[in-house]
């Protein structure tokens, strides 16, 4: 991070320290980026261990940023980031989309414990004084993980249940005006549901984007992420065979073409010289949830087969441009220690797997994810699952689930199973955004936004949508 941004981060934390979540003040960094203009900030001090167990003293800071509505506010919408390990900064670059989706509401965005400007797992992740800002760099990796393993009790304070206690506290301590809605995406949906399971009150509705599988769903946990990506990737190839333009361009069944390219690459690795990471299965798997890119996969493979990389370079440039929509802020880097802690403790149903078993599984796939391999050696002291693991809330407020029909991270069939379980606790509406992938609101489809607006505004909403396919 540049020195100026480190200084701004330090000023921001110093300015708001000691304030409560409801006591928002103008943010010290509001002038550093157009996306932050007009934002208000606060820090809430919370117990490091909300259980109150003997010897569990101490407090940590939770950073919260609010973007007030342009006119009289209809209430609050809390935006809960995914990951685990992502801070609220992952939403800052998409504020226009969220304002259009939740018109008239204040947008309130917390940083989970362990992320962003909230207290981090390692001091090496703190922006002030760290050469990499909130990202670990160079020797910080070793010193951070050594610290966590030397103090496992402290590391385990960053559990999912503790984060749910944080969110419950923030929701209940913030004065209400109008309605209160909570939006969560990906891992954020799991955190929101755990917060509801703790009995959080004062919530008028939940919007769950890309609903994660139930924690005991042994067909879709994180260790099976490559299987999920493979299924969606094969859908993309099969769609090409039914699309006149794609079929004409590719000239043969898309899967046949792709298998030939994989076989050639196994014999001649130079074919993958321009592929990021030099792993075609994982690279193409990573494209499945980038808006506007997944449908180009058959065309890209066709050019690779012809020894060309024009399409490849165009796709890489488009991915960079699309990812830039999310913005780049001092607290944007994902907290890798938190990813390892919560993913390994909460969402890995095959903890005994080896790296060799991961490689063997991937060998039989056409598309893959790097996540299963990362689960094998998380190198953090995992915590035991508590009574809230895989437990659905007893009562839910009105809930809307929006799910991409081709989500390669949180698959539609697993979302449907989860929705059926949640309907025992309350009214749950499911909307499938057919052409969308992960993080459905990011895909910016009119019908998805209109569905959310209708859920939030009810009779006040007059929006209409026309479903238009975004690909051929």
Q: What is the pLDDT of residues 376-409, one digit of tens each?
A: 977 899 999 999 999 999 999 999 999 999 999 9
- Average per-residue pLDDT for the chain: 90
pLDDT at 194: 98
SS3 (DSSP) at 429: strand
Structural domain boundaries in the chain: 3-217+387-460
CA distance 129 to 327: 23
Q: Kindly indicate the confidence band of residue 125, based on its pLDDT and cuts at 50, 70 and 90.
A: confident
Taking 80 as the threshold, does the pLDDT of residue 43 lie above it? yes
List the beta bridge partners of residue 44. 62
Task: Give the pLDDT score at 379.
Answer: 85
| pLDDT at position 55 | 58
pLDDT-derived band at 451, boundaries 50, 70, 90:
very high
Structure tokens at 81: 């980031």
DSSP string over 132-148: TTTS--TTHHHHHHHHH
pLDDT digits (tens, 9 = 90+) for 414-431: 999 999 999 999 999 999
Q: Do residues 381 and 145 lie in contact, with contact meaning Cβ atoms separated by under 8 Å?
A: no
Q: What is the mean pLDDT of residues 409-416?
A: 93
Q: Which segment of 127-136, 221-230, 273-282, 403-412 scores lowest on mean pLDDT?
A: 127-136
Q: Do 181 and 78 contact (CB within 8 A), yes or no?
A: yes
pLDDT bracket for residue 56 (50, 70, 90): low
- Secondary structure (DSSP) of 269-328: GGGGTTSGGG-HHHHHHHHTTSTTTGGGHHHHHHHHHTT--HHHHHHHHHHHHHHGGG--
| 8 A C-beta contact, residue 338 and residue 84 | yes
pTM of this structure: 0.92
Q: Which two tokens stand for residue 375?
A: 């689960």
What's the fold here for domain 3-217+387-460?
Answer: Rossmann fold (3.40.50)
What is the reported pLDDT for 18? 42
- List all residues 6 or more positions away from 112 whose beta carbon is below 8 Å from its beta carbon: 81, 83, 84, 86, 87, 118, 163, 166, 191, 338
pLDDT of 169? 95
pLDDT at 128: 63
Rg over alpha carbons for the chain, rounded to the nearest Å, is 22
The residue ranges of DSSP E strands in 3-85, in sequence order, are 25-26, 40-47, 59-67, 75-80
Average pLDDT over residues 200-226: 96
Residue 83 to residues 80, 87, 105, 334, Cα–Cα distance (Å): 10, 8, 25, 8
Per-residue pLDDT tens over the stretch 339-381: 999 999 999 999 999 999 999 999 999 999 999 999 997 789 9
> What SS3 class is residue 42?
strand
Please report the pLDDT score of residue 138 as a whole number.
83
Q: What are the tens digits of pLDDT across the range 80-99?
A: 999 899 999 999 999 999 99
Q: Rounded distance, CA 48 to CA 406, Å?
A: 39
Would residue 137 be called left, alpha or beta, if left means φ above 0 and alpha means ψ between -120 and 50 degrees? beta
> What pLDDT, on a 0 to 100 scale, did the predictor assign at position 141?
85
Q: Sign of the C-alpha dihedral, residues 47, 51, 52, 55? A: negative
DSSP secondary structure code for residue 47 in this structure: E
For the cut 80, the answer to whether the pLDDT of residue 187 exceeds it is yes
Helix, strand or coil for residue 181? strand
Strand order in the sheet with 205-209: 25-26, 40-47, 59-67, 106-110, 75-80, 179-185, 205-209, 398-404, 428-433
Query: Dihedral of CA 448/452/455/460: which sign?
Result: negative
pLDDT of residue 435: 84
* Residue bearing the bigger pLDDT, 255 or 123: 255
Residue 8 reports pLDDT greater than 60 = no
pLDDT at residue 186, as a whole number: 96
Of 90, 43, 36, 97, nearest in space to 68 by CA: 36
């Amino acid at each position: 991070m540049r020195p100026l941004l480190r200084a701004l981060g330090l000023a921001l934390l110093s300015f708001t320290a000691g304030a409560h979540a409801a006591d928002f003040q103008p943010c010290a960094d509001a002038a550093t980026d157009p996306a932050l203009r007009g934002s208000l900030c606060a820090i809430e001090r919370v117990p490091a261990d909300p259980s109150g167990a003997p010897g569990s003293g101490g407090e940590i800071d939770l950073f919260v940023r609010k973007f007030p509505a342009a006119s009289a506010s209809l209430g609050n919408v809390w935006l809960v980031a995914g990951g685990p390990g992502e801070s609220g900064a992952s939403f800052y670059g998409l504020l226009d989309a969220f304002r259009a989706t939740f018109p008239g509401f204040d947008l309130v965005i917390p940083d989970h414990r362990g992320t962003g400007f909230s207290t981090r797992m390692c001091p090496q992740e703190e922006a002030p004084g760290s050469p990499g800002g909130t990202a670990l760099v160079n020797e910080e990796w070793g010193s951070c993980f050594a610290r966590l393993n030397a103090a496992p009790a402290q590391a385990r304070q960053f559990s999912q249940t503790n984060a749910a206690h944080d969110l419950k506290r923030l929701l209940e301590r913030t004065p209400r005006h109008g309605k209160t809605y909570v939006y969560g995406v990906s891992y954020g949906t799991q955190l929101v549901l755990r917060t509801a399971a703790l009995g959080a009150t004062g919530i008028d509705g939940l919007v769950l984007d890309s609903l994660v599988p139930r924690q005991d769903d042994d067909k879709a946990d994180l260790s099976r992420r490559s299987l999920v990506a493979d299924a969606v990737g094969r859908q993309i190839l099969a769609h090409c065979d039914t699309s006149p333009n794609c079929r004409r361009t590719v000239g043969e069944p898309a899967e046949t073409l792709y298998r030939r390219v994989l076989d050639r690459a196994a014999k001649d690795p130079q074919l993958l010289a321009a592929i990021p990471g030099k792993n075609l299965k994982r690279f193409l798997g990573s494209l499945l949830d980038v808006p506007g890119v997944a449908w180009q996969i058959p065309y890209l493979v066709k050019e690779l087969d012809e020894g060309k990389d024009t399409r490849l370079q165009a796709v890489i440039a488009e991915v960079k441009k699309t990812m830039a929509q999310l913005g780049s802020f001092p607290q944007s880097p994902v907290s890798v220690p938190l990813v390892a802690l919560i993913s390994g403790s909460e969402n890995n149903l095959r903890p005994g797997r080896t790296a060799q078993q991961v490689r063997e599984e991937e060998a039989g796939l056409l598309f893959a994810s790097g996540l299963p391999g990362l689960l094998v050696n998380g190198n953090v002291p995992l915590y035991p699952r508590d009574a809230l693991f895989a437990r659905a809330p007893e009562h839910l407020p009105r809930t809307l689930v929006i799910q991409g029909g081709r989500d390669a991270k949180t698959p539609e069939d697993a979302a449907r199973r989860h929705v059926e379980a949640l309907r025992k606790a309350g009214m749950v509406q499911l909307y499938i955004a057919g052409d969308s992938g992960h993080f459905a609101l990011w895909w910016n489809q009119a019908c998805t936004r209109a569905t959310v607006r209708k859920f939030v505004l009810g009779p006040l909403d007059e929006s209409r949508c026309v479903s238009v396919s975004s690909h051929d």
